[in-house]
Amino acid sequence: MAKANRVGWIKAALLFAAFFFVVFRFATLESLFPSILVRRGIMVERVPLWMTAWQHVYLVVISSAMSVAVAVALGVITFFPFAREFRDLFIELSNLGETFPSVAIIALTVPMLGYGFWPVLLALFIYGILPVLRNTITGIENVDPSVLDSARGMGMGQVETILRVALPLALPVIVAGIRTSVIINIGAATIGATVGAGGFGIPIISGIRSNDMALVLRGSIPVALLAVSADSLFALAEDAVSRGS
């Protein structure tokens, strides 16, 4: 187990190192693979790659943090007697948000919120809720009833039993939902460039418009590395909380 964990950390470190190398030293890749990565299109990228990386990561982190906070809170609330009837409603609403195209959400909110950061943040926030909410409810539902009965037998109330017993035991399942949510948002955040929110979508869209594969790769390679790096890190977190619980 210790060896597998060490290998996991090494893998995550190498992936993040590759991501930062591509972001800050993409010119080196261009020199190594000139037939693929030398830009030939008429579009000239005005935003440095490190800045698009910051914009992309910032969008994903803020939207994912909001999604996790709201989804976990809603998932926990459904287990209190006063809100049990809202369980199916919450899931249906989050399912609706997941099936609604993120581009459509952005298009509908731009007239109200304007161009830039806010409409994309809202779209990613809505998109990120479902996996976390679903896993929060599933994780708590699958906690052994005898463990909850023992907690009540020790004098714990409903709130204390859920927060101190059920929620920690459900944490591995919740982390798996967060993992899925973050990976989805990393990919979806590229759409933000269409309304001026920045991110790795800037070179991708510029490359598509100018038929320049080098610009497309300049955005898509870091996005892929960021998604794989985040996935490996969350896999380690999931394993850690599984062993802890």
- Segments in 78-116 forming alpha helices (H): 87-99, 102-113
Mean pLDDT of 100-110: 76
**DSSP reduced 3-state for 147:** helix
Ordered by where they begin, the domains of the chain are 2-33+48-244 (1.10.3720.10)
Q: pTM higher than 0.85, yes or no?
A: yes
Per the model's pLDDT, the better-predicted residue between 100 and 132 turns out to be: 132
When pLDDT is cut at 50, 70 and 90, the band that residue 213 belongs to is: confident
DSSP 8-class letter at 38: S
Q: Give the N- to C-terminal CA distance of the chain in Å, as an integer.
A: 16
When pLDDT is cut at 50, 70 and 90, the band that residue 105 belongs to is: confident
Cβ neighbours for 183, distance < 8 A, ≥ 6 positions apart: 227, 230, 231
Res 234 pLDDT > 70 = yes
* Cβ pair 227, 183 in contact under 8 A: yes
pLDDT in tens, 47-66: 788 999 999 999 999 999 99
